[in-house]
Amino acid sequence: MYPRPNGTESGDALDDEGAGEFRFSDYNQRVVVASLNLLISVFGIFGNVLVILAVALSRRLRTITNAFVVSLSVADLLTCMSLPFNAANLLHSDLGNSMFPDLVCKTLALILYTCGGCSLYTLAAIALNRYILITKSVKTYRSLYTPFKVAVMVTATWFVPLLVAFVPPLFGLGELGYAEKYGTCNHKTSNPLSHIYSIFQAVLFYPGPMVIIVICYVKIFKHVKQHCQNMMTSSSLELSISSSIQTKEAFHPKENNSVTRRLTSSRRQIDITKNLFCVVLAFVICVSPFGIALMIPPSDPFIPWAAVFLAFNSCVNPVIYATKHPQFRQVFRLMLRCQFNKIQPDPFVRKAVIRRR
């Protein structure tokens, strides 16, 4: 057992005044949590940089959906870059004080809260994009997902979480900075309204986007199921949604496509949707323990561990892309082999872009 900085046993969860308030004072646990954060940081930085570079280098990955994927990777990358600072705080011998100036700690807290919220809002935006892509008309998709509107959507997924994280402290509802209770930079637990800030974050970040995600993927599932039934009973495969999906993603109709090509495109889009649903499922598994713990005060001892689950999501998405998404997997393989000259754009997309110009 490691002694607490104030001289009590490391397993003692009481604060200095004996009031029974939880403190994450067990140095053994702090070392484990800090080590996990460092591992997540290393793998997360590496993986998310790969995702961003893959989209930047490969023209066939430059789709509207992947604009949101890149935004999600940037949020995860910033999160991973912030984790070593909290790991250093956890390993610091003085639990009552941060290793870093207050301004640095507040900035780190703002980054972590904003990126966490951005991840949720971006996943909701991706779910909505897939829903419209698969179930709506070409005209509807084109009108909603112009380059300008996509830029506005991506900006909104960052700006709204930033406001949610930054505005409440301006009105005295909590304060960003060093949390003495947990030994990390998030929000000051010494503030008498810190619990209100936690609930505020959990309520505004979690339910809304999750409702959008669930509704969109349920509707996609129903649409695909109905479409498959129509394909089995219809005498003409021309009713297939594959033609509209191919048109939307490539931004150019190809009137002489064969039925086989259309069906292949349709399956590809459905597979991509399934893969992105895996990303959503991973996020739900990782974020739910933390979101629930924030709303239940007696769960304080579990929050540092729930935060590890939350941070783990920042490095798991590249693994999903590498194992489930064939285009990402191919580009990742070429990048890791330093064969950048072999990363070629899709000929169909290249022709579509030329004709569109």
Say which residue, 2 or 236, is predicted with more confidence: 236
Whole-number pLDDT of residue 177: 86
**Quick count: other Cβ atoms within 10 Å of Cβ 199?**
16
Confidence at 277, pLDDT banded by 50, 70, 90? confident
* Lowest-pLDDT range of 44-48, 92-96, 302-306: 92-96
Q: Domains of the chain by range and CATH?
A: 27-356 (1.20.1070.10)
pLDDT at 128 over 70: yes
CA–CA distance, 97 with 99 (Å, rounded to integer): 7
CA–CA distance, 53 with 331 (Å, rounded to integer): 9
Average pLDDT over residues 126-153: 89
Tokens found for residue 299: 């769960």
Whole-number pLDDT of residue 317: 83
Say which residue, 180 or 18, is predicted with more confidence: 180
Contact (Cβ atoms closer than 8 angstroms) between residue 184 and residue 90 = yes
The residue among 81, 85, 89, 79 whose CA lies nearest residue 24 is 89
CA–CA distance, 12 with 20 (Å, rounded to integer): 10
Whole-number pLDDT of residue 241: 53
- Length of the chain as a residue count: 357
Whole-number pLDDT of residue 13: 41
